[in-house]
A and B are shown apart, each in its own frame.
Chain A
Amino acid sequence: MAIGLFKDGIEPGRLAPAEYADNFSDLHPPLDKHEALVEADRCYFCYDAPCMQACPTSIDIPMFIRQIATGNPLGSAKTIFDQNILGGMCARVCPTETLCEEACVREKAEGKPVQIGRLQRYATDEAMEQGKQFYTRAEKSGRKVAIVGAGPAGLAAAHRLTSYGHDVTIFEAKPKSGGLNEYGIAAYKSTHDFAQAEVDYVTAIGGIEIEHGKALGRDIHLGELSEQYDAVFLGMGLAGVNALRAEGEDALGVTDAVDFIAELRQSTNLSRLPVGRRIVVIGGGMTAIDAAVQSKLLGAQDVTICYRRGQEDMNASEFEQDLATANGVVIRHWIQPKRVLIENGKVSGIELEYTVMRGGKLTGTGETLVLPADQVFKAIGQQFDANALNGSRPKIALEKGRIKVDSEGRTSVKNVWAGGDCVADAREDLTVAAVAAGRDAAESINRFLKA
């Protein structure tokens, strides 16, 4: 029986069983064939299409949409996968409103872009449901590449490398592949265990070995890898979490939002997942939104996102912000955490300070307020855990706390490449950007191996 929204504390089973399924169903449900055809007909087949330029993986969007419109969804899927082998996941999780769909000329024309993401899902779903594989491995090159991390960057790199005939071994710290696709993306964006289905689809090409439970810096070391393999690709994401730097942040009930989400994503029975009655989420990005919305969907009564700057500074897109408010989340701006209030060893609230911009610098005004809370999520960004690189000889150069790479993804070490969230580059921290980085690094590695 549901215990309801009003019970204090961090408790499971706030909702009736059926409500969980409802709340965590597809955020953007798939288009059926008719819907896909109607939508595909809206595309103008633009020249040097703005949508395509805005796609970090440069998918030929007008072409794949035209292929849907002309009754060739498999050809469409191939057009997508040619550029982005994780096109299925990207179709679900890309913030299209700030990428392709923002650039779509019909956004300018009518404020209603072509629904590129949903069309991409239509085509890729079709191919994956049919188990259609478009790629085969080239003749074996006899070269071996080690990849660290089976997230989007690692998987994209692996697929491209094996297609060139190189043997790939992925070392993955976690028990499952997929990276944040499996452990981080909001549940309503990746339903029905899609992340694992996609890993299977990508690795079905062959030549990709994944060793789970193998962490770089613990079980394996970069020095060995770079000696034993012809090339190494690091796609380790961001394993560390930024500190709140607020008093009391170690109290019971203060949790990293990414850990909460990972637990949620791995839960096989959401009614057993405990969630607070009053929740405060600190942060302004996608993680903050996801933690807040999913808490709400688990039955939390009051969820407030507190962000220390203004609305326009939030990393979460307008669509994401609207999604949160539509789900009853309150977003407050210009307040920063000061102190976690504790009663009986548990969180009872959080004291926050108002902020302003003074002389181009964010400063606290000194004035504070208190929000009652039985759970506080920290969503103020992840950081790269450079400890994992222990033992690299010579030492890998870092930049802004992440791995330094050139435009091809080469690190400072001769046969080591890196890409995705773990590097300092111009790309955003997005699934699709990680795919692009992995793919491009694989091209660079291939050129290196064939030279």
Chain B
Amino acid sequence: MMYCRMFLGTILLLLSVTTGIFFWADRQVATQAQSLTSARREMVRQLQLTDLAIWTEARYSRHPSQADLFTPFQEFPGALEHFPAGSLLAPPSFNLNTQLKVALRAGGKS
């Protein structure tokens, strides 16, 4: 019964890990519902936001709910990409190679 014990032990271990993650998720949801989610909701209310800031490449993807649906050349708001090429080509990296900091000295010269 060696293999049987090993198998049941593995399954029990995996089940415990899964259950643990589910309990952790449940606690996260409960605690975040009080703190983070309410803070985020307050932000939506105060700034009168209408959309999530996920896709910033086009106005219809930045604000899918506000896209002018009747306009020709606008895609369906559920579409994620206008051109298939976007799926293959990566966007430019945003890491700046050089950063200059300019500050005033005491004498007023920079």
Q: Do A and B bind each other?
A: no
Q: What is B's interface to A at a CB cutoff of 8 Å?
A: none
Residue numbers of A with Cβ under 8 A of B are: none
